[in-house]
Amino acid sequence: MLVDTHCHVYSEYYDNIEEVIKRSRDAGVGMMVVNGVDRKSNEEILRLVKEYDIVYGALGIQPESVETATEEDFDFIEKHIGDDKIVAIGEIGLDYHYDIDREKQKEVFKRQLEIAKKYNKPVIVHSRDCIQETYDILKLSNVKGIMHCYSGSVEMAREFVKIGFYLGIGGIVTFKNAVKLLDVIKDTSLEYIVLETDSPYLSPEPYRGKVNEPANVHVILQKICAIKGLDYMEASRVTTENVLRLFDK
């Protein structure tokens, strides 16, 4: 079985979720973690995990939503973080690519890390154009988790692994210009790698430009196996065990 640790399969992006789930299951996906970004998606995730056996959820407020987040939105996460099939807080983090109040981003990020720590849950972290700042905050937070769509250096990857983080690897690994990421994958033991699609975004080659789905997660694993010279079935087992260990399943 394969696990997609990061996707956004909800009605904002998909007209027929049932079909997406069916194709995922047919492609060998046994678990897909739908990540929330705001209150609306977090609420939908609670419904989805009840409806579909292979759907698990992460609840969170992502950087793009921090300016509109309310007290009730944090309360909602805290109230439901212990629910059945809610495995993490995510996606949360920092994004310096867009012009979003950075102090507010840090405040919201740290607040959700506190919730994770309080309830002993892992976090799924988004970090764009600010890997050092993200690392500095995580190092002090004493939580474990996944660096979603890891895009930093080899040296930084080693540091994240040391503080209890797995590297989330997705469709970018199949892109021609992913030279730096290939070095990271070569350098990182498979014991610290988990798979993700970030659906509906970042479709792997040869589906680039199309709407992505968790069913494509096998393409990413095939590419990782090619880079590291690994057997597909063995790599499937190891990456899935990594996720089950992190999520205590």
Interface residues with Ni ion (CB under 5 A) are 91
Give least dist CB 6 to Ni ion, A. Answer: 6
Q: Which amino acid is located at 199 in the chain? A: S
73 vs 91, which CB is nearer to Ni ion? 91
At closest approach, how far in Å is the CB of 8 from Ni ion? 6
- Please state the φ and ψ torsions of residue 195, each to the nearest 5 degrees: -100, 150
Structure tokens at 92: 């949360």
Between residues 91 and 213, which has the closer beta carbon with respect to Ni ion?
91
58 versus 235: smaller Cβ distance to Ni ion: 58
Q: How far is the CB of 229 from Ni ion (least distance, A)?
A: 30
Strand 86-95 versus strand 55-59 pairing type: parallel
Min dist. Cβ of residue 149 to Ni ion (A): 7
Find the farthest-apart pair of alpha carbons in the chain and give their distance in angstroms, rounded.
48
The span from the CA of 31 to the CA of 24, in Å, is: 9
Judged by CB, which is closer to Ni ion: 34, or 235? 34
CB of residue 237 vs Ni ion: minimum separation in angstroms? 25
At 52 the three-state DSSP class reads coil
User: Which CB sits closer to Ni ion, 44 or 235?
Assistant: 44
In sequence order, the 6+-apart residues with CB closer than 8 A to the CB of 57 are 33, 34, 35, 36, 45, 46, 48, 49, 85, 86, 87
Closer residue to Ni ion (CB): 93 or 174: 93
User: What's the min distance (Å) between Cβ of 160 and Ni ion?
Assistant: 18
Among 148, 203, 155, residue whose Cα is nearest residue 35: 148
H-helix segments, the chain? 17-26, 39-51, 71-80, 102-118, 131-141, 154-162, 179-187, 217-228, 232-246
